[in-house]
Amino acid sequence: MMKHVIGAGATMLILIAALYHPDVARAHGGADMDQDFCARLAGDSTVHFSAYQPQFGLKEQYCTEIPQEGDTFLVVDLVDPALRDEPVGMRVIRGNGKSEPDGEIVADIRPSTHPDGVLRSEVMLDEGLYSVIIASEKHNLLKRPQYLLRVHMVNYQKLALSIAGPLIGGLLFVWLAYRLVRSKWMQRWWTAASSS
């Protein structure tokens, strides 16, 4: 009986560890580009996007979930050296870019070369959705956004996932505790302890 209890407890710990997973989008510094949520293909080349709001957190960097409204620094790292020699630009449009292709242009950085491999812009973002499109003169990439920014919005899917792990773990713990209390082994132990 004790083996079953220990096995069930170990299974519960593994389940909780697997479900309680840190948010990938938040911590991407130093990650492998294949696993980096903020790295995307621009044509045949790879780019990496980061957003900063130093007025709220000096070291915090974001990808698609921007926590506050306000001045935001947008940085695109041109990972592939070939992109550094050709003119590359960036456009930020209010909306999701699909249903509103002609939305308000918030920032338009005209294509130019970036020998240091970094494309920068500062924009004022209000609450809502924004599309970020990175384009080069050789590759017309304006057909679809590479990044969809959610500024100061609740992501209910991530919220539900962050609650689901601990909730399932807690329910599993309660169920195991109930099974242990109701087991014959526990009842015999309780009877023996009470009669002593």
Opening angle at CA 55, ends 49 and 60, nearest 5: 40
Measure the CA–CA gap between 146 and 159, rounded to whole angstroms. Answer: 24
Helices of type H across the chain: 2-19, 81-84, 156-182, 184-195
Cα angle 124, 43, 133 (rounded to 5 degrees) comes to 15
Length of the chain: 196
Q: Report pLDDT for 117.
A: 93
Token couple for 11: 């299974």
CA distance 158 to 76: 25
pLDDT for the residue 146: 81
pLDDT for res 9: 52
Give the separation between CA 170 and CA 176, rounded to whole angstroms: 10
pTM of the model: 0.62
**Which residues on adjacent β-strands are paired with residue 93?**
105, 131
Taking the C-alpha atoms of residue 76 and residue 64, their distance in angstroms, rounded to an integer, is: 13
pLDDT at residue number 28: 42
Per-residue pLDDT tens digits of the chain, which is 196 residues long:
555 545 555 454 454 554 444 433 333 444 455 678 899 877 678 889 999 999 998 889 999 899 999 999 999 999 988 888 888 889 999 987 665 556 789 999 998 999 999 999 999 999 999 999 888 777 655 445 688 999 988 777 777 888 888 889 999 999 888 888 788 777 787 788 887 6
- Element holding 139 (H helix, E strand): none
Contacts 24+ apart (CB under 8 A), 79-84: 79/33, 79/39, 79/45, 79/46, 79/47, 79/48, 79/117, 80/45, 80/46, 80/47, 81/117, 82/45, 83/42, 83/45, 83/47, 83/114, 83/117, 83/136, 84/113, 84/114, 84/115, 84/116, 84/117
pLDDT at residue number 3: 57
